[in-house]
Amino acid sequence: MIVRKCEGAIGVRLSDAILGKCVNFIFSVNSLVSAYQAFWTRAFDFSGRTRRIDFWLTVLVNLVVTIVLAIIAGFVDFLQILSGLFSFAVIIPSFSMVVRRLRDAGKDWPWLFILLVPFVGAIWLLVIYCSPSIPA
């Protein structure tokens, strides 16, 4: 309803496809925020499951935050400490999220040890991370 009022105010009619994309974007931002919030609130929770989309959204946010902090730390020496603290702070929550994601993909936590196999282990684990959820 608000969108229709805005259409009249600007004199342009928005297509339903554009409106649909805007709504999908708003919901995806909400999904991103809720996934990252769950990442921190379930930091020490090794039980349960983490859906594939929540896992990858959290990985994306952590990657962006790390890159931004590293770039800023390159210009401001004091922020190197902040960048290091963030990297240290995400270790345990990331580990618990990985354990929950493995469980969601139908694997047990010892599958993390596949990372000890050079090259192949990381690729295999990436395939597991990308695999769909197994019904409980």
The pLDDT tens digits for 13-33 are: 555 555 455 556 555 778 888
Q: Are 101 and 131 in contact (CB under 8 A)?
A: no
Q: Are 87 and 73 in contact (CB under 8 A)?
A: no
Return the ∠ at Cα 42 (arms to 26 and 56), rounded to 5°. 50
For the chain, what's the residue count? 136
Average pLDDT, whole number, for the chain? Answer: 84
Provide the pLDDT confidence category of residue 6 given band limits of 50, 70 and 90: very low
Does the structure show a pLDDT above 60 at 79? yes
The larger pLDDT score, comparing residue 68 to residue 9, is at: 68
**Tokens coding 100:** 């929950």
Burial class of residue 110 in the structure, from the number of CB atoms within 10 Å of its CB (0-12 exposed, 13-18 middle, 19+ buried) = exposed
Element holding 105 (H helix, E strand) = none
- Identify which of 57, 24, 25 has the alpha carbon closest to the alpha carbon of residue 38: 57
Per residue in 80-116, pLDDT (tens digit) is 898 899 999 999 999 999 999 999 999 999 999 999 9
